[in-house]
Structure 1
Amino acid sequence: MRFINPKIDFAFKKIFGSNESREILISFLNAMLYAGEPVIEDLEIIDPYLAGQIFGSKDTYLDVKARINDGKTIIIEMQVLNVPAFGKRVLYNAAKTYALQLNRADRYQRLRPVIALNITDFEMFPNQSEVISRFAFKETQRLFDYPDSEIELVFIELPKFNKELSELTTLTDKWIYFVKNTSNLETVPDTMVAVPEIERAFQIANDTNLSQKDLDELQKQESWIQDQQGAIDLATQQALKRGKSELILRQMTRRIGELSPDIQTQICELNLENLDNLGDAMFDLESVSDLVTWLQQHSRNSTDDI
C-alpha cells in the first residue's frame, strides 16, 4: 500500500479540502487549534482563492479555507520550501482574508476573527523548541490582549516533531504524525485507525483511490518541489563556499602578502572540504611559495564538489 504525501499542496487539498473532507477537517482543526477539544462542531469548506479587490493588487491562493460554527474563518497553508518573505506572506494572507469579509457599505461589526494556520516543513523559529506556536495582538510591556485581537497566526513546525508511533498519546500528536510521516508508511498503524477521521484520511491518501490525472498532477508538483529544493540547496552551498573563500583570501593576504589573481582563482575553485583544510593549514604557511605548494597538493579534484 502506498500513500500520497500530505505535505504536497495537491495531496493536502485532496485530504483536507475536498467535498468529502468535512469531518476530517473538523477533527484536524480541533487537534491543531484546540488541543483536541471539540470546539469546532461544524464548518463549511469554502473557495480558498482570494482575488485582489483593487486593480493590480496581488491575488492569493491558499491550500484550504473554512468558516467554522462560531463565524471564524480559518485559512490553512502547507509550506514545504523555506522561501524568502514567507512570514510576510502569512501576514498578508491573514490581513487580506480579514479585510475581504466586508463590502464597501458593510459595517465593521460584521468582521469575524481569522486564524491563519501554517504548517511548515522547515523551522520558522529555530531558537524555540515548541512544535506549535501561536501569535496574537498583545501590549508589548504588560502583555494584555488588544480588545479586538481578531487575527491569530498559528505555526506547526514539522521538523520539531520527533515522536514515534508508540509515543502518540493525543489527537494533536496523531494528526501531526499523519502529515509528517504518511508518505513513508506502507500500512495504516493501529493507533491511527482508532480515530475514524484519521482512518478516512488514510483512505483518501491511498494512491489506489486516485485517478491517473490526479497522480500525474501529484508527480508534477513533487518534481517541481524537488527541483526547487535542489536549487535552494545549491545556492546555499555556493553562498557558503563564496563566503569561506573570501574570508580565507583576506586572512591569507594579511598573513603572507598580496596574492596574484591566479592564486586567488585557485583558492576560489577549491571545494568546501579543501577550503576548510586550507583554513586549518593557514597558520603553517609562511610564504606565497608555501601556499602555492599546498594548492598544488590539494587542488586536484577540488572542483568535483561545490
Structure 2
Amino acid sequence: MNRKALKRIPLNKLIDLKIDLAFKQLFGNDKNKEITIVFLNAILQKTGRNTIKEVLFINKELSGEHLEDKESRLDIIVRTQDGELINIEMQLSNENDMMKRTLYYWSRLFVDQLSRGKSYHTLLPTITINICNFTFFKTIHYHSTYHLFENQSLQRLAPQDDVLEIHFIEMTKFLQTWRKEQLNSLDDILARWLLLLGMVDARKQKVYDDIYNELEVLALKDERLQQAFDTWQELSQNPDTIIAYHSRLKTIIDEEAKLDYARHQGIEEGIQKGIQEGLVQQNKQIAQKMIAKGKSDEEIQDLTELPLEEIQRLRLGN
C-alpha cells in the first residue's frame, strides 16, 4: 500500500501531545477510538490482560464530598468490553503528591462503580496509567506496573480478580533508553507511541528531528500510527484547538514557574536556617568553653549573644 509522507505542515507547528488538552484531543476522542485501543493494548500487553477490542469513553468529574475537597476532571476514562475501567493521566510536573493523588483518583473511580443496591462482587478491575514527563522512580525501567502483593511471598492478592493495577511511564527515561539504541521500535509497539508523544517539547520549544525520522519509517508499516500523525496534524491546524492549546500551555508554564520559585525559596530559606542553627551551635560551644574557664554569665552573653536562660542551662549541663 502506498503511503503519503508524514510531513505536511512544518514540524514546529505541531502541538505538544504531552500537554493534557492535546493528549485528550487525540486519544480521548470517539472519532479516534481505534488509535486509543492500539495505544492501550501496547501499554497493557505486559500484564497479560485480555486484548481490548472496544472502549466506551466516559466523561467523569470527581467532586469532593465536602466543600473543601478538591474537584478533579480526569484526563481520559474508558470502559472496555470486559467492563474494566481505565484512567489515563498525562502528568507534566512532579508536584510531590504523585502517589497520593494517583491512589485518590484510582479509589474514587473504583468506589463510584458501586451504586446503591449493588453488591461488592460487582466491582470490576480499575486501571490507572500515569504518563509522566519527569523522572519519578530510581529504577532504570521507564514502564513500571504495580499491584497488591504479599511482602514475603510476593503472591498477588486475589490474582483471579485483580482490581488494582497502576502503570507509570516515565518519558525522560524512555527517551534516554531510545537514544542509547536499547529499544527496537520496529518490534516494540509501545515505543512507537511514546516516540509520538516525545517528538515535540513545547516548553523547551524543540522538535526532535531524529524522532520524526524514525516515525516516518515506522508509519510506513503501521496504519494506526499514520492515522494518529494525520489526526495530530489536523488538530495542529484547527483554530479552536490552537487557541485552547496555547491558553492551556501558558497556564502550565505559569504554574511550573510558581512551583519552581517556591522550591528555590524553600531551598534558600533552608540554607539560611541551617546557617543560623550552625552559628547557634558554634556559640554554645564557645559558651561551654568559657564556663569551663570560670567566665561570668555577662561575659559569655556579651561574646556569644546567647539568651541568659540558655547559658544557665549550659552551666547545668543541659
TM-score band, normalised by shorter chain: 0.7 to 0.9
**Is 1:128 matched with 2:139?**
yes
**Is 1:192 matched with 2:204?**
no
35 and 190 in structure 1: CA distance in 2 versus 1, 3 angstrom threshold = farther
Matching residue's letter, 1:200? Q
Alignment deviations for residues 141-169 of structure 1 (CA, whole Å, 9 cap, x no partner): 21111124301111111111111397543
Alignment deviations for residues 62-97 of structure 1 (CA, whole Å, 9 cap, x no partner): 111111222211111001021242221111111111
**Is 1:137 matched with 2:155?**
no
The 5-angstrom pairing of residues 1-306 of structure 1 reads 1=10, 2-35=13-46, 39-52=50-63, 54=65, 56=67, 58-125=70-137, 127-147=138-158, 148-161=161-174, 162=176, 163-164=178-179, 167-169=183-185, 170-183=188-201, 184-185=207-208, 189-193=215-219, 194-206=221-233, 210-251=237-278
Please say which of residues 233-242 and 35-44 is displaced more in the overlay. Answer: 35-44
Alignment deviations for residues 110-151 of structure 1 (CA, whole Å, 9 cap, x no partner): 2110110011112221x2111011111111221111124301
2:302 is matched with: none
Shift, 1:27, TM fit: 1.0
> RMSD in angstroms over aligned alpha carbons?
2.9
State the aligned residue count: 259
TM-score normalised over the length of structure 1: 0.75
Shift, 1:51, TM fit: 4.2
Please say which of residues 237-246 and 211-220 is displaced more in the overlay. Answer: 237-246
Shift, 1:14, TM fit: 0.6
Matching residue's letter, 1:113? P
Measure the CA separation in 2 of the matches of 1:86 and 1:67. Answer: 24
Q: Any idea what SS the aligned residue of 1:21 has?
A: helix
Measure the CA separation in 1 of the matches of 2:55 and 2:110. Answer: 17
Alignment deviations for residues 247-277 of structure 1 (CA, whole Å, 9 cap, x no partner): 334445666899xxxxxxxxxxxxxxxxxxx
**Gap regions ≥5 residues in structure 2:** 1-9, 202-206, 286-318
**Gap regions ≥5 residues in structure 1:** 259-306
146 and 41 in structure 1: CA distance in 2 versus 1, 3 angstrom threshold = closer
TM-score normalised over the length of structure 2: 0.72
25 and 246 in structure 1: CA distance in 2 versus 1, 3 angstrom threshold = same
Measure the CA separation in 2 of the matches of 1:32 and 1:80. Answer: 19
Q: Any idea what SS the aligned residue of 2:30 has?
A: coil
Please say which of residues 204-213 and 24-33 is displaced more in the overlay. Answer: 204-213
